[in-house]
A and B are shown apart, each in its own frame.
Chain A
């Protein structure tokens, strides 16, 4: 498999389109069938083999032009590619050696020839899309300098420097320094001309190198940074999410919900019809002279998780509400049988909104309908009992999201006790740390004994763990 293709698969992965090893092997086979000549066919073929969903197709579409548009990657036929490989292996060492030689014992001939090469490279032009000697040299040097490892924007300077070193600019720098520091040559017009020429070439090389590093950053670094930021956001306290974090959180939560779905979806397999279990029928018939007297049917138990989520959307949890609802929203796409309620002092069924509207609209509508009042957990429980009691049975997991701060109203522990009796499990996810439970108007400590599990959920990662455990109970 050639390097060009491996690089492309890497770039795809960095951009978030996961391509497995099997798929990259397929890609190599596809390239062998389609060839590199027809760019459009190559793009279509790689899209079919490597990008397996609509978002991935979009990534591929953008990345393909970016990657194969690079000046240094004119798709070479295999034998030339090998030649380039060999060149890449030997090349970076020779100019670097020449550079060191110039440092230790100035060997004028070597240095002069190295400088001459660089000047020739710099003069060769570096127009984008052109396969110039400079582009090829930069590509080799980039390979040797490990520019593809770039992760953050702040590293661009460092990698540019490293790239230039690999290019072998040391003799050029040496010569420049010598010319600038030598007072004897200051007046000579000839030396000034050389100085100008060298400086211009140096600047040109630096710009070209920087352009390459920036391009690689766009390919490999930016997506990696984004992945890193998403990781940060997952573990950040929910109360402290900034608006850009929230945008990121949407993606994180969607992924989380999908992960949960994949992990737990097998459990709600439904067997609709009975099917004759022939072997069992025969075996049990053996006692009656193998007359199939009693028929046996294959059965699989119908087992599906049922969830009732009750979410506090009042002012006291304002900082968390957006996230909690976002999570409920994602969960609606995951769990088949989920009822969602939101309350501040009155309980509202918000399932239809979360299911049918885009998140931002659903969020606004939920707050309009259920938010705004002062919290009253007791009243919410009363409403639940009066209107929606029948959706809770012994298979139901009740998920309560809230801080348990009830403004000194009657917490109605009796209803929660009855609820705990009736449901399979009651999980309480509280955004407040354990130490604050029971302080002020918090009823957490009173509610706690009735719940199967009470967890402190400070971040998205906590929440995923709690839900995962809840689903695993089935």
Chain B
């Protein structure tokens, strides 16, 4: 399994991973950094689960940027099959090839005097029909063929069907793809594979066993402030604290789709754009649709906005967190 590869400087230690990611604009928690570090050193894929918008996909993108690897992305959806994920035969070209073959085969056999000789020529003829020339590589095969290393992002794997998981097993375990007509193609440099799942369905045990498992949940207040500070430069510290307090409190409300980090980022940008000096109930009222994407959630929270805003403005962080 272990091929001799120089470890990129970004993967020298767990702290180096954190530093490299933060250089690419991603603030990684210790768990995240540890998972990536292990993924590289154990040569195992990482399966990331967690609610939408906490930076699962972003992690793969940032990791690729931090390492200087190519990012190859496979977006999963229902009905995704091997011809979209692994490889496909170029049918059109193959059809044309048969036409060409038909014309040429006459010439080839013409000079043969006897049937056995003609047959011998035919069998000696190199068959190109199923060969690399007619192969259209799809993301998984592309990732295997990257000589300079790559990050393979298999996004929202829970959206695909169980059958597709089985397809992934060979790729995930051995970094190789078997094409019946050609043979086994092995990755020159094993890609760093990152799978994400929103948990719309439980993934099979087989796939989980082959992956490292990372769960990214909603962040702690201090951590969320750090992320916002890095992503929305120029935001006022006091406003940042109030904003995070409010969002954190909102996640404890009884709503269907609690705001995620992506939403608080959008909100922070919105507030920055509006030059808001600090939170107040009217401002929250007007911009609530940035945080909450469901009408029923907005209706549920509206009557409590006054209270939540007041709590978020309270100077002690303890009051806001509750």
Contacts and interface: CB of A to CB of B under 8 A. Distances in A.
A in complex with B:
yes
Interface of A: 20, 22-23, 26, 29-30, 33-34, 40-41, 44-45, 47-49, 51-54, 57, 258, 261-262, 265-266, 269-273, 275-276, 278, 282, 289-290, 292
B297 interface: no
Given A33-B38, A49-B38, A52-B213, A276 B79 contact: no
A44 B213 contact: no
A282 to B, nearest CB: 7
Contact of A266 (B30, B163, B215): B163
Contacts of A23: 209
A261 B203 CA distance: 11
Given A33-B42, A44-B34, A266-B163, A292 B212 contact: no
A258 B30 CA distance: 32
A47 B47 CA distance: 13
Interface of B: 14, 30-31, 34-35, 37-38, 41-42, 44, 46-47, 49, 78-79, 81, 83, 89, 91, 94-95, 98, 102, 161-163, 202, 204, 208-209, 211-215
Contacts of B95: 292
Given A47-B31, A49-B212, A266-B162, A282 B38 contact: no
Closest 5 CB pairs of A and B: A44-B34, A52-B213, A272-B79, A52-B208, A48-B35
A48 B209 contact: no
B213 A53 contact: yes
A48 B204 contact: no
8 contacts: A26-B44, A48-B35, A48-B213, A48-B214, A53-B213, A57-B215, A272-B79, A275-B81
A13 to B, nearest CB: 14
A265 B215 CA distance: 25
Nearest to B210: A22
Report whether over half of chain B's contact residues are helix, strand or loop; otherwise say mixed: helix
Given A33-B42, A266-B162, A269-B161, 4 more contacts: A33-B37, A45-B34, A270-B78, A278-B91
B34 A48 contact: yes
Contact of B38 (A20, A34, A278, A289): A34
Contacts of B91: 276, 278
A269 B167 CA distance: 14
Contacts of B162: 265-266, 269
Contacts of B204: 262
A258 B201 CA distance: 11
Contacts of B163: 266, 269
Contact of B49 (A29, A34, A45, A54): A54
Residue from B37, B38, B79, B91 whose CB has the most chain A CB atoms within 10 Å: B38
A22 B49 CA distance: 21
Contacts of B37: 33
Contacts of A289: 102
A265 B163 CA distance: 10
A272 B202 CA distance: 22
Contacts of A40: 30
Contacts of B215: 54, 57
B42 A30 contact: yes
B209 A51 contact: no
A22 B196 CA distance: 22
Nearest to A20: B209
A51 B214 CA distance: 9
A278 B89 contact: yes
B212 A33 contact: no
Contacts of B102: 289-290
B40 to A, nearest CB: 9
Contacts of A266: 162-163
B199 to A, nearest CB: 8
Nearest to A57: B215
Residue from A41, A54, A258, A269 whose CB has the most chain B CB atoms within 10 Å: A41
